[in-house]
Amino acid sequence: MRKMIQKGETMPVASDIRADFLSGKSPSGRVEYLDYLTSMQKILWEEKHPGEECRLPGKKLREKAAVLYINKRGGKGAADEISMDYGQYYIEFIKKQIRHPIEGKTNGHGCGHHLLGTASVAAVDALKTYMEENHMSGTIRYYGCPAEENAGGKAYLVRDGYFNDCDIAITWHPSTTNKTMGDDKFLANFRVFFTFHGISSHAAGAPELGRSALDAVEIMDIGVNYMREHMIDAARVHGAITNTGGIAPNVIPAEAQVLYAIRAPKVTQVKKLYERMCDIAKGAALITGTTVDIRQVAAYSNVIGNDVLEEVMDKNLDHFIPIGYTEEELAYAGKFKEVVTELDKEGLKDMIAHAVEKDKRKEVLDMPLLDFKLDRSESYGGGGSTDVGDVSWVVPTVQTNVCCYAAGTALHSWQAVAQGKASIAHKGMLTAAKVMACTGADLLENPELIKKAHKDWLEELDGETYPNPLPKDAKPELW
C-alpha cells in the first residue's frame, strides 16, 4: 500500500478537482465520483458495531481502501491514518462513526457518521489528485476518529499529541441544513460515573446493618437538582442511573451508580460544575455511610471558531448549494417529514422563524428538503457537544453542515437511521466532499490564508491554552 502511494496512485473512487475557476484562484472543484463511494458508505451503514468498535469495518471496505496507506496506530480507540506527504502545510480531514439503536436492529447509524467518514476519504483523495496535477506542495492527512458520541475519541488523540504538527483541520457533519458552522452551537461536556458502595443487608430483618448505595445516588441527584438553581442558564446537567443495585426491594443495595453529562459553553465552566458535583457526591456518601468512586470517561471542549476559515468554506458552500433533487427524492423526503415527531415539527418551525426572512417562512416550511444555504452568522438550536472542539483548541478548525435528511428529522432517531442509505444522503455526502476538498485547495494555493487563520485562532484563544480536560490515565473504553 505504501509503495502505491509513493508511485502517486490514487483510489479508484474520487478522480480529481478540475482546474476550472469560478473566481480568481478559487477552484470550482468539480469532483467526479464513481458509485464506489456509495458502496463504501453502505458497507459502513450495514456494519452495526457500537461505540469504539466502529472502525473502517469489514473485509470489503479494507479491500476497497487498500490503495491508500492506512496506519492503525494500535490500542483501543486509536486512529486510522491515511497520510500523503507533499511538503509544508498539513490539512486534516476528520471522520467519525456512531451507531444508534432502531426497532428490530441491534444498532444503526443515527448521526450519519458513515456518511461523514466516506465524504472525508473522498475529499482527501480528490485534493491529493488535484495537488499532483497542479504540482502543489503541502501535506494532507486523514484521521479516522471512533466513538465520538460517548468516548469523545478525538479528545484522546489531542491529549496524546496526534494533532501537534497540523496547520488546519477541516471536517463536516450530516444535517438537515446547509451551513458553515461557527463556535456558538456546541457545548463543552464531561461524562462522569459516580459509583457508590454500601453494605447489603435485609431491609426488614436487619436494616440497621445496611448502608444503601442507592440512597446515596438519590441524595446526590437531589443535591445536583439544587445545584441547578445556582449555575449559568446555558449549562446543562443530565444523568441516568445505570445501576440501581438490584430489583429486590427487601435487599439494601450494596452498589449503585449514576452517569452524568455535564455541559456548559466553555470547558472551564464544565470543570467547575464537575468539581461541585464531586463535592455533592462526597456529601451524599457521608450522609449515607457509603463510599464513592468517581470516574471521568469523556471530555469534550468547546469549539474555538475561526472567521478566516469559515469565510473560505462558506464561499465554497456557495458553489455547490443548492444540491438539486429529483421529484422522487422530494417525495421520499416528504414522507419522512410527515412522520417526524410533533416536537421536531415545532423545532423546525422555530428554526425557520429564527433563520429565514418572514416573507419566505411559509415556503420554506413546506419544503421536504431545505436545499439552500443558511447564513453562517445565524445561531439557533444547539446544546449538543462535539470532540471537534478539542481539535479546535490545538489547530485552527472549520466545519460545515450539509443536508442529508428530510426537514425536521432529528439526529439519533429512527428516521435519521432509515434515511442514511437514501440517495438524498448520498448527495449530501458528495457535496460535503466537494466543499472540503475545495476549501483545502484554497488554503494550499493561498498560504497567506493559513497565516491569517492562525492569527485569528490565537486572537480567539486570547492567551488561553488547551485545558486538556481528560485525566492522564483515562483510556477509551466501552461503557
For the residues 122-128, what does the mean pLDDT come to? 86
Q: How far is Cα 425 from Cα 277, in angstroms, rounded to an integer?
A: 41
Is residue 54 within 8 Å of 146, Cβ to Cβ? Answer: yes
| Higher per-residue pLDDT: 375 or 9 | 375
Using 50, 70 and 90 to split pLDDT, how confident is the model at 243?
Answer: very high
pLDDT digits (tens, 9 = 90+) for 301-313: 999 999 999 999 9
Sheet (strand 71-72) strand order: 71-72, 80-84, 139-144, 90-95, 168-175, 397-403, 179-181
Is residue 5 within 8 Å of 69, Cβ to Cβ? Answer: yes
Return the exposure string of 288-310: e unless at least 16 CB atoms fall within 10 Å of the residue's CB, then b: bebebeeebbbbbbbbbbbbbbb
CA geometry: angle 190, 347, 427, nearest 5 deg: 85
Using 50, 70 and 90 to split pLDDT, how confident is the model at 248?
Answer: very high
For the residues 227-253, what does the mean pLDDT come to? 96
Lowest mean pLDDT among 34-43, 269-278, 348-357: 34-43
For the residues 127-139, what does the mean pLDDT come to? 86
Using 50, 70 and 90 to split pLDDT, how confident is the model at 120?
Answer: confident
For the residues 248-261, what does the mean pLDDT come to? 96
**pLDDT higher than 80, residue 222:** yes
Q: Supply the pLDDT for residue 34.
A: 40
Is residue 18 within 8 Å of 30, Cβ to Cβ? Answer: yes
Q: How far is Cα 31 from Cα 15, in angstroms, rounded to an integer?
A: 7
Q: Supply the pLDDT for residue 128.
A: 85
DSSP at 368 = S
Using 50, 70 and 90 to split pLDDT, how confident is the model at 295?
Answer: very high
Q: Supply the pLDDT for residue 337.
A: 94
Residues paired with residue 400 on neighbouring β-strands, in sequence order:
172, 180
Please tell me whether the overall predicted TM-score, pTM, comes out greater than 0.85 for this model.
Answer: no
pLDDT digits (tens, 9 = 90+) for 68-115: 222 333 333 334 444 444 345 656 665 444 444 445 555 566 677 788
Q: What percent of the chain lies above the pLDDT cut of 70?
A: 75
Instruction: Please list, in sequence order, all residues whose beta carbon lies within 8 angstroms of the beta carbon of residue 219, skipping any fewer than 6 positions away.
Output: 283, 284, 287, 288
**Mean per-residue pLDDT of the chain:** 80
Lowest mean pLDDT among 154-168, 192-206, 327-341: 154-168
Sheet (strand 255-264) strand order: 236-243, 255-264, 188-197, 291-300
Q: What percent of the chain lies above the pLDDT cut of 90?
A: 53
Q: Supply the pLDDT for residue 265.
A: 94
**pLDDT higher than 80, residue 376:** yes
For the residues 396-400, what does the mean pLDDT come to? 95
- Three-state DSSP at 181 gives strand
Q: Supply the pLDDT for residue 45.
A: 56
Using 50, 70 and 90 to split pLDDT, how confident is the model at 384?
Answer: confident
Q: Supply the pLDDT for residue 155.
A: 87
**pLDDT higher than 60, residue 54:** no
**pLDDT higher than 60, residue 161:** yes
For the residues 191-211, what does the mean pLDDT come to? 96
Q: Supply the pLDDT for residue 398.
A: 96
**pLDDT higher than 60, residue 286:** yes
| Higher per-residue pLDDT: 257 or 102 | 257
